[in-house]
Amino acid sequence: MATRPKKLTHVDAANRPRMVDVSAKPPTRRTAIAEAIVEFPEAAAKLLSSGGLRTNKGPVVETAIIAGVMAAKRTHELIPFCHPLALEDCQVRIEMRDARQLRIECEVSVTGRTGVEMEALTGASVAALTVYDMTKALSHGIVIRSTRLIEKTGGRKDYRASR
């Protein structure tokens, strides 16, 4: 017997898009962690590292952190059916994963009726886009890879990606 696909929450009975009504849900502590990987061609990675992760546009990591936090806070303005949330915390961490890759992690938390997965994913994505923008003069061969949800807690069920 085939399993039925889960019902999409942002579509009503007549198959029209809608925002989900979360008013009946109890507020709970909700967190989400997302990551994005930025991979540089070897020559660009060497130039970036030798410059202390700075370019003519400024400090790459610090600027990407600020951009990621700003984006997470404004997710509802970018994603049509996201609820506006008063985020209680948003941390963007960026580290060199190896000689050619930066790992960006965005962790977001709120006490509310809906999760913050989209905020974490948006923060990680915009931080990665900011890294690209600030380093594209080194190479247009930079690739943003593997933007994904790592973990979420709160709400109906928790989630943790396999690493």
Q: What pLDDT score was predicted for residue 116?
A: 96
- What are 95's two structure tokens? 């580290």
State residue 1's pLDDT score. Answer: 44
Q: Do residues 104 and 64 make contact, with C-beta atoms less than 8 angstroms apart?
A: yes
Beta carbons of 38 and 102 less than 8 angstroms apart: yes
Distance of CA 4 to the CA centre of its chain: 29
Distance CA 127, CA 67 (A): 6
Average pLDDT, stretch 18-37? 91
pLDDT digits (tens, 9 = 90+) for 38-61: 999 999 999 888 888 888 889 999
Task: Please provide residue 155's backbone torsions phi and psi, each rounded to the nearest 5 degrees.
Answer: 80, -155
pLDDT tens track for 70-111? 999 999 999 999 999 999 999 999 999 999 999 999 999 999
Distance of alpha carbon 159 from alpha carbon 140, whole angstroms? 35
The Cα 48–Cα 123 span in angstroms is 22
pTM, entire model: 0.89
Kindly provide the b/e burial profile for residues 39-65, where b requires at least 16 CB atoms within 10 angstroms of the residue's own CB: bbeeebbebbeeeebebeeeebbebbb
Q: What is the pLDDT of residues 2-21, one digit of tens each?
A: 454 567 777 778 888 788 88
What is the set of active-site residues? 133
